[in-house]
Amino acid sequence: MNKADILFGGIMAFAMSFLMSLVMTYVSVGLVPDFITIWLRSFVIGMIVSFPIALFITPIAAKIVKTVVKA
């Protein structure tokens, strides 16, 4: 795994965690007074989980795409 793969995984994990935690927090609790605090906590947890998953899944997804595109 090279630096580009790690950076790609980090960017994808950040973007997905940012948006998914924002939407899911809004759906779960609505616009409550402490929405930002609740959302940021969810975002941090999401990053902790999604970054290693993104690093693991990216090479697998790339192989699947190569296989499908060749067919």
pLDDT at 2: 86
13-31: string of b/e by CB count within 10 Å (b at 16+)?
bbebbeeebbeebeeeeee
pLDDT at 14: 96
Q: What is the pLDDT along the chain (71 residues), one digit of tens a residue?
A: 789 989 999 999 999 999 999 999 999 999 999 999 999 999 999 999 999 999 999 889 989 999 999 86
Distance, CA of 33 to CA of 40 (rounded, Å): 13
pLDDT at 1: 78
Number of domains present in the structure of the chain? 1
pLDDT at 5: 86
What is the domain range of residue 54? 3-70
CB atoms under 10 Å from CB of 55, counted, come to 17
The pTM of this model reads 0.81
